[in-house]
Structures are given as C-alpha cells and as structure tokens.
Amino acid sequence: MGWSAFPPLPAKTAADKLEQQMMRETYTEFEDIAAKYPESGIAFVPDPENGYVGWPDFRVLPQEEYPKGHENIRLGVSYRCWVLNSPVYLLWLKSRAEGLGVHFVKGQVSRLEDAAAILLPSRGLDGGSSTIVINATGRGLDDPASFPSRGQFVHVANECRETISHHWADGSSTVIIPRPLGGGTIIGGTKEPNDWYFLSTQSQPAFRSAEVSATVTDVVLKRAVELEPGLIQHDVAATSTSGFKILQEYVARRPMRNGGLRLESETGPGKPPIIHCYGAGASGFKISWGVATRVHKFVADLEAKQ
C-alpha cells in the first residue's frame, strides 16, 4: 500500500489483544527509528479520532473541537500517533537490511517449499537442515480463509499537520494521513471485501473493475474537506473541483483473513520448516515490528531444534 498511519482500535478478543500488544511494540520501535533516522520517512503527529482508545497523549475532545457540521459525533479523542511515507520507509528499510547482509531475489513459485530452491542457488548454497521459509505472502497463497478487500485512495499535494480518522454513521470511514518529508497527504476510506478482480478466473468471477472510480474520488475528497477545511487553503494549483491538487488515484487490496493474522510455525517430514505470517489486513505496518519479534523467536526456536 502507498499509505500508512497508526489508528488503533479497542481490543475485544484474544486476537485483538495480541494485535494491540504488537502495535505497542511497533510504536516503540518507530519512535526509536524516527529519532535516530529522520530520513526513514517516519514522523509523529496528533490524531483526532472519533472512537475510543487509550494511547500516549490521549485525551477526550471537547465538543467545540469537533469538525464543524458534525456536532452529532458521540465521542472524539486525540492521541499521539505515527505516520510514514511508505515508499521512502520501505526503501530505507531495504537498504538497512542489505547492510546487514540480507539478499533480495525475485522469482515465482507454486509452493512455499520451492522458495528455498530459488534463493539458495543464487547465493551458492545448497540448503539443508538450516533452511527455514517465512510465509509473508499477504494472502497466504491458497489459504481459503484469506480474501482481498478493495480500497481506493487519493494522493494529493495539499498538506495536513495531523492524521484524522472519522467513522461515519453509514459505517464507512474517512482517513486523512500526512506523508512526512514533503510527501503531501493520503486520503481514503473505502473498504470492499471479497473484490477478486485481480484474481478473476472461471471459478472465481470478478465482482467489479480494478479501475479507479471518479465518483468515489469525488466523495472521498468532499468528505475530507468537511472534516478538515484547511486542506484546501494551502497554496497549491488545484486539479480537482474540490480544491485539491491530485498527484495520484489508485486502488489497493488489503490481505484480509477470517480469523485474523496467521502467525505460527509448521514442520513436517520432507519439507523445510515454515513460519506463517500473513493475513494482517490493513494492520501490516501497525503491527510490523511486533510481528517481526515473534517471527524471530520462531526462527530461534526452530534453529535450536535442528
């Protein structure tokens, strides 16, 4: 995805509580990265949220701070959250990994077990008992519990100083996320589960086109102005009737999974150990470092048994 920010939600189940813990671990790691590496594309900003959660700098908003015209909001809160410029951050992270000796190899496989067959020869290795495959494929290849959720986003040059998450009475949401390092702002909020367009086959019909909808873009931008009128008061050459300078409109798909994130190790005769780590939905960046810590422990435990 081309955007990311940290809007946590209340924990209701054991899986939710685990995700909240991983969010906290990721939050701490991002604080450290933002302080040490400003070029990483991570920054911390206020986040007015019309929901409820306890977090650093958490406070309940008085009604006079609600967006004008939305006095019927039941609850508004604010807390300190992180945002990141995902293209910048991912390139920075890749560079850091390569500096630690990580090799990136592109290839195509039909089975998870075949991943090692692509990677190891490229490094002059033959594998063996030390090979461990980490399945971070998003949708987990052929996991029937996994499904995509379509979202449409708009990248604009207009700048915002805080990230805003608003949940509308009709069940939809609007997110306004500033991108650090002069990256403008990402605006979105659509969510369409089980949109299989990009995997359409005879047995799996397409539900709708992957093309950007001009109507959706118009609704997304108009709602953003309702929540934050200051977005269109900046000195930018508007390319839309709403007063935004649109840089890009795009569709992305979140790797959802019934039952939530799959995070476990699997061993069996005749194949390398596999650590499954997929199905995070829209929470990939939010829980990334917490997940990485647990994957690292799985690896250490497997290596200790080999």
pLDDT in tens, 231-279: 886 666 666 667 899 999 988 888 999 988 999 999 888 788 999 999 9
pLDDT of residue 171: 81
Q: Which residue has the higher pLDDT, 97 or 252?
A: 97
Q: What is the pLDDT of residues 154-168, one digit of tens each?
A: 999 999 888 888 888
**275: Cβ–Cβ under 8 A, 6 or more apart, which residues?**
132, 133, 134, 135, 264, 265, 266, 295, 298, 299, 302
Calculate the average pLDDT of the chain. Answer: 82
d(CA 247, CA 228): 19
Domain parsing of the chain, residue ranges = 14-305
Report the sign of the C-alpha dihedral through residues 255, 250, 190, 46, in that order: positive
Q: Give me the mean pLDDT over the 72-93 stretch.
A: 87
**pLDDT higher than threshold 50 for residue 207:** no
Please state the pTM of the whole predicted model: 0.80
Q: Give me the mean pLDDT over the 277-287 stretch.
A: 92
Q: Does domain 14-305 have CATH number 3.20.20.140?
A: no
Place of tokens 């496989």: 109
